[in-house]
Every structure is written in structure tokens, then in C-alpha cells.
Amino acid sequence: MIASGMKEKLNKHQESARAFAEACRVLPGGVNSPVRAFDGVDAGPVFVASAKGSKIFDIDGNEYIDYVGSWGPMIVGHAHPSVIAAVEAAARKGTSFGAPTLAETALAQKIIDAFDSIEKVRLLSSGTEAVMTAIRLARGYTKKDIIIKMAGCYHGHSDSLLVAAGSGLAESAIASSAGVPDAIAKLTVVVPYNDIEAVKAALAKHKGNIAAVLVEPVGANMGVVPPINGYLQTIRRLCTADGVLLIFDEVITGFRLAFGGAQELFGINVDLTCLGKIIGGGLPVGAVGGRADIMDILAPTGPVYQAGTLSGNPIATAAASATLDILAEKGCYEKLESSSAKLEAGLAEAAKDAGIAVTINRVGSIQSCFFTDRPVRTFADVQSTDIQRFKKFFAGMLGRGIYLAPSAFEAMFVSLAHSTDDIERTIEAAGASFREIG
């Protein structure tokens, strides 16, 4: 059991509160990415001082078992010795050149070797930039303008993707953020995730004008929502039949669900793949890859322009290569699966024992615990879950030294650094937290 003294200590965040007040003076909302503000859990954010393995440590001296993992990248654990050594060695040679390096080519080859659908890669600096570039590529290649995306799937904050569904099936989207022109929003059509009939309707209504269908193969930005049987395969078939490009946003799933991402797991080849998070090893890296005939229309060989001063940064590529080398070792994904399955089963049992209705969705080493007694297959299902109960659960877990994403619409990430003891302590904390919220 967790001692009451330890629980009391973990509930103290005075230094974080002071740091947040100071940050609000100089940063909009006190943070550099909205979810970090903890608005989704009606609390003040925890300021992190350091991390190692499966643990993070805040500026008040509290220790937490971390299931955020920098929102996915830290699959080998924080401050892994091999990754740190690679970063240190690269930094000694210079932090940025703005010129080609051998490391960029080596990283690109590792990505190509991992994904059957990728023949060439453009390295970038973020997942958002990867998706933005993929869309521009799709439009340039097909000479068409409309993109179909799925409700609840987040693809970064570029203008054409900060949109919400219109009022009717297969209608053009409406802007979901101030600053996004309606004219740009109208080039995106939003349909429900896991609704193949809606995809068919959108393809039929806008036939001849669609550049691409863009989808997270596993919904992971509305919590974890797996694809229903045949969903991705049918989208692939429909896109091929209509001459529409299929783009998988594997920023979260790439190198996480399998070494070859969701495409390997589900046996699907796509036209363009967006990557990020894990391929940076904790540093800012993104990539878009695909068929050579599509990729070759990127500048300088083609008319679709994209550039980036820090693309292929030597420190970032060093961290990325070191991380991928670790993941290529035998047994990594089996360990991730074993730890994640144990956590899933333990959370489900703890909730049952406490009389709390939950639905746990898991694919590989990502999972979500939704407070509902119904299946969760769409964004509408996610929105109907008990968010207030999640907030109480989050508070209970944080107080017991378990760091979850501060939003009901995010995933839990298990890493290679999570030990059996970590998982057991998490399940114990969950049982106590479930009983508290009754």
C-alpha cells in the first residue's frame, strides 16, 4: 500500500503553482501547448524538473510513474543511455549545419526499411509539418483540392485541419479555431471515424475533386479508438478505385504498434505516411514518406515547395537513429505488449472491484480508460463518456504518484522502461482511485 505520508507529499505542488503563475506573465496561458495547462482536469499543471526511465520528477520533489512519455516519443524510456550518448556525441560536432549530412541519409534508410509503402522520405521538424507537407504533396500530385478527414482525429494545427464537421453528411467542414479562413476550411470534408458509409458518401459527393483521404489508422488523439474490422482495408480499396491518395497519419502509431507501424499491424500499404514523435527519440523530428513518384514532386526535383532550416538536424537525427536501433532489437514489441496487456487487465479488474463502469480500448502499447458502460468506437462515443469522473480519477492517480495525460481525450503510453513493479503500483493506485470516486 502507498503510505499516507507519501500520498500527502505527492499532493503538494506549491512550487509548480508558483512557477505557473510566473509563466502566465510571459506565456499565453502559461504554457507552450494548450493541453499542458491542465484545463482538461480543472487543475494547475505540474512543472517537470527531470525524468529517467519510467519516472518523471517535478520541481516540488515528487516522483511519478509516467504514462504520458512526452505524448508518445519516449518509447524506450526517458534519458536512455544509448540515446543520451548519441546526442552528446552529435552535439560535440556541432548543433546545426543547414547542409546535408550522412546521418540524414542513414535515418531515412532506416525508415524506408521499416515501412513497405515508403520509397523516399523527407525529414522535417514536427508531426504537424509532416501532415501539412503530405496534404500539399497530395494536392500537387493529383491536382485536386479536397481532403477527407475523420472527426476526432487530430493531425496538427495547420489551417486546413483545424476544422469540425459541417451540418450534414459529406458536407464541407467549418473552422474550429479562430484565425482559420472559411475558404480554407471548405476544402476539408469531415466524416465520423469508423463509419465507412460516410466515407463512401463523401467520395461520391465530391468525386473528381478529392486529393486524399487522411486518417489516423488507430484513433489516438480522442483517446484510443481502434478501427473496426475491415474499416482501413475498405478505405484503401475505395481510394484506389477513385484515384484518391490514402494518407496515414502515423505520428503516434509509427514505430509504436509495430516496427512498421499500423501498416505492418493491419497489413495495409498507403500512398503517403506521416511520422513524428518516436522517430525523434524525444527531439523535434517529423517525416513524410511514400511512393517515389509522389515524393519526387517535392522541390528541388518537383513543383511542390517545402523547406526547413532545421530539417534533418544532426542532434535530432542522432537521437532518432539511436531510438530506432533499440526498437529493432529482438523482443522489444513483445515486452511492450506484455506490459500493456497486464496494465489493461489490471485496470479493468480494479474498476470492476470498485463497481465503476469503464471501457478500456487498447492497441499495442497505447490505451485509454473511458468512464462508460458502452463501447467507444467514434468521437461521439468519446464525447458521451463521463468526463467529470475522469477528472476525479486523474486527481486520485496524480496524488498517488501516477502521471496520466491531463485530458480524457488522450492516450496512456507504455514504454520499455515500465517495470512489472511500475505496472503493479499503477494498478494498486487505480484501485484506490476508483474506490474514491465510487
DSSP character for 209?
S
Structure-block grid coordinates of residue 172: 464541407
Give the start-end residues of each E strand in 91-181.
Answer: 120-124, 146-151, 163-164, 174-175
Active site residue 277: yes
Question: Cβ of 87: how many Cβ atoms within 10 Å?
Answer: 20
Cβ-based neighbours of 163, under 8 Å, separated by 6 or more: 149, 173, 174, 175, 176, 180, 185, 188, 190
Candidate list 110, 277, 391, 392, residue with the active-site label: 277
Q: Is 113 a catalytic residue?
A: no
Among the listed residues 64, 67, 141, 154, the single catalytic one is: 154
154 is catalytic: yes
Q: Using CA atoms, how far apart are residues 147 and 144, in angstroms rounded to an integer?
A: 9
- Strand pairing partners for 122? 288
Q: Which residues is 57 bridged to in the sheet?
A: 50, 63
Tell me how far apart the alpha carbons of residues 170 and 167 are, in angstroms, rounded to a whole number: 9
Distance CA 17, CA 42 (A): 13
Q: Tell me, letter by letter, the H, E, C secondary structure of 213-269.
A: EEECCCECCCCCECCCCCHHHHHHHHHHHHCCEEEEECCCCECCCECCHHHHHHCCC
Catalytic residue among 249, 271, 381, 422: 249
User: Are the CB atoms for 223 and 370 separated by under 8 Å?
Assistant: yes
> Which grid cell is 114?
521499416
Cross-strand partners of 151: 192
Contact 229, 222 (CB under 8 A): no
Q: 230, exposed or middle or buried, with CB in 10 Å at 0-12, 13-18, 19+?
A: exposed
Residues involved in catalysis: 154, 249, 277
